[in-house]
Amino acid sequence: MTAITRAEVAHLATLARLDLTETELDHYAQQLDVILQSVARVSEIATADIPATSHPLPLENVFRDDIARPCLDRAEVLAAAPAHEDDRFRVPRILDEEV
């Protein structure tokens, strides 16, 4: 039985913003299938009556006083950015040309 097809892997790559090559798609389709078939065993013991655990510690919301604190240095942050302009991150166009 196949857990995942090549077309599904291509769709996942799009969702995950990975511009995979054709060779990678072939390779990953085969590997992900093997991995998924192995890990799918978890469903054998995961019966309806067992609660899910997302986290090892019980989490609760933590509030703090609303006090202004120094933030990161702007020049230092922008110096590490791939591109910047006018004290802001410069990003590629966000709309398609056809629109």
Partner 1 sequence: MPITGSDLTRQTAAVLAEAIRTGEASAVEVTQAHLDRISSVDDRVHAFLYVDAEAAIDSARSVDAKRSAGEVLGPLAGVPLALKDVLTMRGVPTTCGSRMLENWRPPYDSSVVERLRAADIVILGKTNMDEFAMGSSTEHSAYGPSHNPWDLDRIPGGSGGGSAAALAAFEAPLAIGTDTGGSIRQPAAVTGTVGVKPTYGGVPRYGLVALASSLDQAGPCARTVMDTALLHSIIAGYDPRDSTSINAPVPNVVAAAAKADVRGMRIGIVAELNGEGYQAGVAQRFRESLAILEHLGAEIVEVGCPSFEYALGAYYLILPSEASSNLARFDGMRYGLRVGDDGSHSVEQVMSLTREAGFGAEVKRRIMLGTYALSSGYYDAYYGSAQKVRTLIMRDFASAFESVDVLVSPTAPTTAFKIGEKVDDPLAMYLNDIATIPVNLAGNAAMSLPVGLAPEDGLPVGFQIMAPPMADDRLYLVGAALESALYDQWGHLLIEEAPAL
In this chain, which of 67, 80, 86, 87 binds partner 1, going by CB under 8 A? 80
Tell me how far, at minimum, the Cβ of 65 lies from partner 1, in Å: 11
8 φ, ψ to 5°? -65, -40
The token duo for 39 is 């890990």
- Evaluate whether 78 touches 89 at the Cβ level (below 8 Å): yes
In this chain, which of 2, 5, 7, 18 binds partner 1, going by CB under 8 A? 18
If you count them, how many residues does the chain have? 99
Tell me how far, at minimum, the Cβ of 79 lies from partner 1, in Å: 8
- Evaluate whether 87 touches 78 at the Cβ level (below 8 Å): yes
Could you say which residues in the range 34-73 bind partner 1, by CB under 8 A?
34-36, 38-47, 50-57, 59, 62, 64, 72-73
